[in-house]
Amino acid sequence: MRSGSSRRRHKAARPFAVALALVLMGALYAVLSPATQVAADTGMSAQVAEGKGLFQVTCSSCHGLNGEGSSQGPSLIGVGAASVDFQMSTNRMPMARPGQQAPRRPVTYTAEEIAAIAAFVQSLGPGPAIPPSSAYDASNLDAEAIARGGELFRSNCSACHQAAASGGALPNGKYAPSLHGVEPLHIYEAMRTGPQQMPVFSAGAIPDEDVASIIGYLKELEQQPSAGFSLGGLGPVTEGFFGWVVGIGGLCLVAVWIASRGARAK
Amino acid sequence: MMAKPAATAEQAEVLETHAPAPAGPVKKLGGPAIWFDERIGLAKLGKASLRKVFPDHWSFLLGEIALYSFIVLLLTGLFLTIWFKPSMGEVEYHGSYQLMRGLAMSQAFESTLQISFDVRGGMLVRQIHHWAAILFMAAMTAHMLRVFFTGAFRKPRELNWLIGVGLLSLGMIAGMTGYSLPDDLLSGTGLRFTDGAIRAVPIVGTWVEFFIFDGEFPGDAIIARFYMAHILLLPAILLGLIAAHMALVVYHKHTQFPGPGRTEKNVVGYPLFPVYAAKAGGFFFIVFGVLILMGATMSINQVWLYGPYNPAQVTAGSQPDWYMGWVEGAVRIMPGWESHWGPTTWSWNVFVPFAILMGIFYTALGIWPFVESWLTGDKRPHHILDRPRNAPTRTALGVAGMTFYGLLWAGGGNDILATQFSLSLNSVTWFLRFAVFVGPVIAFLVTKRMCLSLQRADRERVLHGSESGILVRSQIGGYSEPHVPISVDEAFTLTQHRQYTPLEATPTEDEHGVKLKGPGTVSGLRAKLSAWYSGYDVAKPTAAQIAESHHHGDEDTPALPH
């Protein structure tokens, strides 16, 4: 007790107590507060400003100077940074030409440029933020969790994206794209933001760990060897096509050869 | 130098079938042969069958592809039954395919995964079995088209044609039941389609559905029931029909294409032993080999991608195997018409494209030989095949039917067409809704005109000879190409066929006003249809015209100026 009271009277005690309180409060805040902003706070305004400049050059002709939308494109207020990151990192946006649907293309913008535009759009109104990789990390999943991801995929996704994730047709020229080779981050963002024809799968419907399971299943599926040429992974239509062309076609050639050979060499 | 000689049947050597000297048991073969001969008359059997002559043509081997695929199906199917468990009992998966670990599934699906991943050679045999099924149906279809277009179904082979139609439809059911057995998502979805199609049949549909599925879909009996049909009932009937089909081929003797030395009373070709046995036996191994190659290199029905069947799931791109594709297409392009009369629902959207369409299709196939004979009034037996051009209306009808089938087929894959060729699913569907009616008409007209043009070209060729390929320039600068007469053999081939005169309508009443009826009478309608069927043929040249043209030809070839 005595030693304790002497420490309390130490001349460094007050500043130390203040510092300790600040650290405690900071740690508590960091643990308890909702992590809505992932991008670093420092230089945020500069990033937003840069994003605004890029936005006005590349996006505003359709989405309006302040993302308010026009007859050519929807409003981007409240779509969130995740939506921008998905659309631009797969280069669906900026659209090459108007059409029923923007296809996936090789990316042409740098990660910094996309992050800047995303930060600007996020500043227009709160929406889904770019998730930390921990939200969709599938590397530590066990076999059961991945198999469960397969069931979730078949139940929720395969009706449009096909059981082998090869994609499928939607009305009027729209389509659900193939999911082969899609980044886990983009799968997560697509589910949360519902780009183009896709519905939103919110965290209330499919929590993060289930999304990770689905991603884990899709990535495992890509690693699986096919039992021979996959024939496009499109199912019975291509199988029938190859059956006719290779089977009947090939055997007809053999039949012509057999019928052209007599008993004696000519 | 004859440019473009007409494709005539090859002039194979005529092999006389000599009857061996009537001796006792075969002498060259040793004890066992004599032993069997003395008990079951082996020598007599061999004498009759070993010298049986079969004609050579590549298209005659299409039926053999079907037969050999069926044998491969039996062999590989036998292998699969050793491990397959036809049960819908639910188990938790703990096999070696990690992506299904711990999932609840039926024993049927679990054992399919086991065959695929854990049984040595199981995957290969499963894939060979499935490819053989695809090839079996395709070869039967191609064989049927060959028989149709060459008129090989005519008297006396109408019964064999009917057996063939039975084989085709039973093969389809056999394939459909086999497709359903693995109990994966795709096969379950196909089963759901079948279930809906049965249910759409008015009045009895629901009852039949409950009878087949032992209650509501999917129930827990259907896999075991389909298994019984797939491995016992249908193969047994198929085997019996195939045996009858081939026995009739032997009994009727094989048809042959027209050519010199070939008559309605002989068969020109090679004897079964040794030539044809070697050819057919060799072809069996080639078919088997091609199927093994396909099974080894081309994946088919990767059930582990589809997962276990769950009625709550339907994957995009759910399709039947190709032989059901045209029915699938009909259902896909049919407008969603439905009537509600009192307490009943009439699902025209499924009933018309499924039950009615298939009923019409198989009925039309079955009655065609009798319809054609009714149209031509021809009751003679035929062993010489038609060149398709010489039966223009039949050929045109066949191509119209193929067009109809092909367009429905495309409808069955309308989603694949849309995604692979960047088309609108709706546009494909709307196009097909009209094309299935317009396309066959266009195909009929075009094919018939082509056949008649080919007949005209044959006539020209017989009368004016073949292009010599030599251009002659006259002194005044004119160019001409002298023709050379074709060989007598070719001229025979081009003119041997019989041309029909359309039936004339007979009086409907005799002089007393009594209605005439009987086998000899021809109604006005029948006469009109007969004229439509065979009234457009280009008259083949008569012997006098040919003789006259030869004489004429001597005078003006080569066309040199005077």
Residue-level pLDDT at B340: 92
Using a CB-CB cut-off of 8 Å, the residues of chain A touching B316 are 158-163, 167-169, 176
Q: How many residues in chain A? A: 266
- Residue-wise pLDDT tens digits, A19-75: 999 999 888 887 776 655 554 455 558 889 899 999 999 899 999 988 898 888 899
Highest mean pLDDT among A140-154, B281-295, B539-553: B281-295
Residue-level pLDDT at B28: 62
Give the list of residues 6+ apart from residue B535 with CB closer than 8 angstroms, or none: B502
Task: Please count the CA atoms within 13 angstroms of the CA of B409 that sit on its side-chain side.
Answer: 14
> What mean pLDDT is reported for chain B?
90
> What is the rounded CA–CA span in Å between residue B493 and residue B385?
11
Using a CB-CB cut-off of 8 Å, the residues of chain B touching A221 are 99, 305
Mean pLDDT of B107-135: 96
Q: Is A66 exposed, middle or buried (0-12, 13-18, 19+ CB in 10 A)?
A: middle
> What is the rounded CA–CA span in Å between residue B424 and residue A171?
7
Using a CB-CB cut-off of 8 Å, the residues of chain B touching A166 are 317
Residue B9 sits at the chain A interface (C-beta within 8 Å)? no
Distance (Å) from the alpha carbon of A114 to chain B's nearest alpha carbon: 29
pLDDT class of B23 with cuts at 50, 70, 90? low
> What is the rounded CA–CA span in Å between residue B45 and residue B25?
11
Are residues A173 and B302, on separate chains, in Cβ contact within 8 Å? no
Q: Residue written as tokens 């054992």?
A: B111
Residue B300 sits at the chain A interface (C-beta within 8 Å)? yes
- Residue-wise pLDDT tens digits, B360-374: 999 999 999 999 999
Using a CB-CB cut-off of 8 Å, the residues of chain B touching A198 are none
Residue B317 sits at the chain A interface (C-beta within 8 Å)? yes
Minimal CA–CA distance to A199: which of A169, A153, A156? A156
Are residues A258 and B283, on separate chains, in Cβ contact within 8 Å? yes
Give the list of residues 6+ apart from residue A186 with CB closer than 8 angstroms, or none: A86, A89, A90
pLDDT at B158 over 50: yes
Q: Which residue has the higher pLDDT, B467 or B520?
A: B467
Are residues B100 and A159, on separate chains, in Cβ contact within 8 Å? no
Of B286, B317, B325, the CB nearest to A162: B317
pLDDT at B27 over 60: no
Task: Please count the CA atoms within 13 angstroms of the CA of B276 that sit on its side-chain side.
Answer: 21
Using a CB-CB cut-off of 8 Å, the residues of chain A touching B299 are 226-231
Q: Is A176 exposed, middle or buried (0-12, 13-18, 19+ CB in 10 A)?
A: buried
- Residue-wise pLDDT tens digits, B220-241: 999 999 999 999 999 999 999 9
Give the SS3 label for residue B344: strand
Residue-level pLDDT at B2: 43
Residue-level pLDDT at B42: 79
Residue-level pLDDT at B121: 95
Distance (Å) from the alpha carbon of A88 to chain B's nearest alpha carbon: 22
Distance (Å) from the alpha carbon of B142 to chain A's nearest alpha carbon: 8
pLDDT at A211 over 90: yes
- Residue-wise pLDDT tens digits, B45-102: 777 788 888 888 999 999 999 999 999 999 999 999 999 999 999 999 999 999 999 9
Give the list of residues 6+ apart from residue B184 with CB closer than 8 angstroms, or none: B109, B112, B301, B303, B304, B306, B307, B308, B309
Closest residue on chain A to B302 (Cα): A227
| CATH code, A131-224 | 1.10.760.10
- Residue-wise pLDDT tens digits, B255-301: 999 998 898 998 888 888 888 888 999 999 999 999 999 999 999 99
pLDDT class of B519 with cuts at 50, 70, 90? confident
Are residues B186 and A217, on separate chains, in Cβ contact within 8 Å? no
Of B123, B412, B419, the CB nearest to A167: B419
> What is the rounded CA–CA span in Å between residue A241 and residue B141?
14
Residue-level pLDDT at B562: 43
Are residues A259 and B319, on separate chains, in Cβ contact within 8 Å? no
> What is the rounded CA–CA span in Å between residue B435 and residue B333?
11
Residue-level pLDDT at B24: 55
Using a CB-CB cut-off of 8 Å, the residues of chain B touching A236 are 186, 301, 319-322, 325
Domain ranges of chain A: 41-130, 131-224
Domain ranges of chain B: 64-257+272-312, 387-500+535-562
Closest residue on chain A to B410 (Cα): A237
Sign of dihedral through CA atoms A171, A173, A177, A178? positive
- The secondary structure of B457-471, three-state, reads HHHHHHHHCEECCCC
Are residues A247 and B325, on separate chains, in Cβ contact within 8 Å? no
Instruction: Say if CB A122 and CB A80 are below 8 A apart.
Output: yes
Residue-level pLDDT at B559: 45
Of A146, A159, A227, the CB nearest to B123: A227
C-beta contacts of B278-283 below 8 A and 24+ residues apart? B279/A258, B279/A261, B279/B56, B280/B64, B282/A258, B283/A254, B283/A255, B283/A258, B283/B61, B283/B64, B283/B68
Residue B514 sits at the chain A interface (C-beta within 8 Å)? no
pLDDT at A265 over 50: no
Mean pLDDT of B439-466: 95
Using a CB-CB cut-off of 8 Å, the residues of chain A touching B306 are 154, 163-164
Residue-level pLDDT at B10: 52
- Residue-wise pLDDT tens digits, A213-252: 999 999 999 888 888 898 888 889 999 999 999 999 999 9
State the greatest distance between any 2 C-alpha atoms of chain A, in Å, as a whole number. 122
Residue-level pLDDT at A2: 55
Residue-level pLDDT at A4: 60
Mean pLDDT of B162-176: 96
pLDDT at B19 over 90: no
Closest residue on chain B to A154 (Cα): B313
Are residues B416 and A243, on separate chains, in Cβ contact within 8 Å? no
Distance (Å) from the alpha carbon of B378 to chain A's nearest alpha carbon: 32
Helices H, strands E: what count in chain B? 21, 10
Give the SS3 label for residue A38: coil
Residue B12 sits at the chain A interface (C-beta within 8 Å)? yes
DSSP string for residues in B427-492? HHHHHHHHHHHHHHHHHHHHHHHHHHHHHHHHHHHHHH-EE-S--EE-TTS-EE--EEPPPHHHHH
Interface test with chain B among A160, A198, A229, A258, by most B beta carbons within 10 Å: A258
- Residue-wise pLDDT tens digits, B470-493: 999 999 999 998 888 899 999 999
State the greatest distance between any 2 C-alpha atoms of chain B, in Å, as a whole number. 97
Interface test with chain B among A141, A158, A170, by most B beta carbons within 10 Å: A158
* Residues above pLDDT 70, as percent of chain B: 93
Residue B96 sits at the chain A interface (C-beta within 8 Å)? no
Task: Return the CATH number of A41-130, one of 3.30.70.120, 1.10.600.10, 1.10.760.10, 3.30.470.20.
Answer: 1.10.760.10
Residue A223 sits at the chain B interface (C-beta within 8 Å)? no
- Residue-wise pLDDT tens digits, A153-196: 999 999 999 999 999 999 988 999 999 999 999 999 999 999 98
Residue A158 sits at the chain B interface (C-beta within 8 Å)? yes
Residue A262 sits at the chain B interface (C-beta within 8 Å)? yes
Using a CB-CB cut-off of 8 Å, the residues of chain A touching B427 are 173
| CATH superfamily ID and name for B64-257+272-312 | Cytochrome Bc1 Complex; Chain C (1.20.810.10)
The secondary element (H helix, E strand) that includes residue A53 is helix A44-58
Residue-level pLDDT at B345: 87
Distance (Å) from the alpha carbon of A170 to chain B's nearest alpha carbon: 7
Are residues B58 and A233, on separate chains, in Cβ contact within 8 Å? no
Of A154, A238, A251, the CB nearest to B315: A154
Are residues A160 and B316, on separate chains, in Cβ contact within 8 Å? yes
Using a CB-CB cut-off of 8 Å, the residues of chain A touching B119 are none
Q: Is B253 exposed, middle or buried (0-12, 13-18, 19+ CB in 10 A)?
A: middle
Residue-level pLDDT at B1: 39
Are residues B322 and A150, on separate chains, in Cβ contact within 8 Å? no
- The yes-or-no answer to whether A41-130 and A131-224 have a common fold is yes
